[in-house]
Amino acid sequence: MAGSGAIGGELKARMRRLAASRERSAGSLMREEISQYVEREERREAFIRDGREAWDDYSRTGLHLTEAEADRWLADLEAGEDVVPPRCHG
């Protein structure tokens, strides 16, 4: 019955067992999982949108950092140094 939109009997039973083991209602578990799913998908969409915007910006301006420049900056940050990001260049 895949795709019917209804929760099958076996899945309902599994959900009830899980809810009982956690001393929660099945509804509260489902709301929590749906909330986590929505948050994860929103972060995914934001990541993709940010990547597209960065690519569009690079395509428009040509400004960038080399991998070596970014690595040096990140290494300095990791070492605890308070450094400003390197300037992008064309």
Q: How confident is the model at residue 7 (pLDDT cuts 50, 70, 90)?
A: confident
Residue that has been written with the tokens 């290494």 in this structure: 75
**Model confidence band, residue 8 (pLDDT cutoffs 50, 70, 90):** confident
pLDDT in tens, 30-46: 999 999 999 999 999 99
Quote the pLDDT of residue 1.
Answer: 46
Measure Cα distances from 31 to 6, 21, 34, 40, 80 in Å. 16, 17, 5, 14, 40
